Amino acid sequence: MHKRRRFFFYKARAADWVRRGMRVPFILASVACSLAWADGSELPQKKPAGRKLGLSIQVQGGGWGRGRKESIETVLNAVADTLIARLPPGRFAAPIVVTHTDGPPVALYGRGSAGEYRIRLHARDDNWHLYAYEFAHELCHVLSNYDAQPATHRDNQWFEEALCETASLFTLRHLAQRWEAQPPGPEWVGEAARLRGFFELLIGEGHRLLPADAPLAAWLRDNEDGLRRDPYLRQKNEVLANLLLPLFEHDPDNWQALAYLNLDPADARSSLRAYLSRWYASTPPAHRALVAGVLGLLALDDVVPPSHPPGPLQASAD
pLDDT at residue 305, as a whole number: 73
The terminus-to-terminus CA distance of the chain in angstroms comes to 44
Q: Indicate the average pLDDT of the chain.
A: 83
Reading phi first (left if > 0) and then psi (alpha if -120 to 50, else beta), residue 190 is in left
285 falls in which pLDDT band (50, 70, 90)?
very high
Which range of 30-34, 88-92, 225-229 scores highest in mean pLDDT? It is: 225-229
pLDDT at residue 85, as a whole number: 82
pTM greater than 0.85 (yes/no): no
pLDDT at residue 117, as a whole number: 95
Q: Are 72 and 108 in contact (CB under 8 A)?
A: no
Residue type at 15?
A
Q: Are 4 and 152 in contact (CB under 8 A)?
A: yes
Q: Are 82 and 90 in contact (CB under 8 A)?
A: no
Q: Which residues contact 134 (CB under 8 A, 6 or more apart)?
A: 105, 121, 122, 123, 168
Q: If we measure between CA atoms, which residue out of 17, 6, 10 comes closest to residue 230? A: 10
The answer to which of 19-28, 114-123, 217-226 has the lowest mean pLDDT is 19-28
Looking at per-residue pLDDT, the higher value among 8 and 235 belongs to 235
Judge whether residue 163 has pLDDT over 50.
yes
pLDDT at residue 53, as a whole number: 54
Q: Are 220 and 270 in contact (CB under 8 A)?
A: no
Q: If we measure between CA atoms, which residue out of 117, 28, 22 comes closest to residue 76? A: 117
Distance between CA atoms of 45 and 205, rounded to whole angstroms? 35
Judge whether residue 36 has pLDDT over 60.
no
Judge whether residue 110 has pLDDT over 60.
yes
Looking at per-residue pLDDT, the higher value among 89 and 21 belongs to 89
Residue pLDDT, tens place only, 44-72:
344 444 454 568 999 999 999 999 999 99
Q: How many CB atoms lie within 10 A of CB 256?
A: 21
pLDDT at residue 312, as a whole number: 44
Distance between CA atoms of 238 and 185, rounded to whole angstroms? 32
Q: What percent of the chain is modeled with pLDDT above 70?
A: 77
Residue ranges per structural domain of the chain: 3-197, 211-317
Query: If DSSP states are collapsed to H, E and C, what string results for the chain?
Result: CCHHHHCCECCCCHHHHHHHHCHHHHHHHHCCCCCCCCCCCCCCCCCCHHHHCCCCEEECCCCCCCCCHHHHHHHHHHHHHHHHCCCCCCCCCCCEEEEECCCCCEEECCCCCCCCEEEEECCCCCCHHHHHHHHHHHHHHHHCCCCCCCCCCCCCHHHHHHHHHHHHHHHHHHHHHHHHHCCCCHHHCCHHHHHHHHHHHHHCCHHHCCCCCCCHHHHHHHHHHHHHHCCCCHHHHHHHHHHHHHHHHHCHHHHHHHHHCCCCHHHHHCCHHHHHHHHHHHCCHHHHHHHHHHHHHCCCHHHCCCCCCCHHHHHHHC
Looking at per-residue pLDDT, the higher value among 29 and 177 belongs to 177
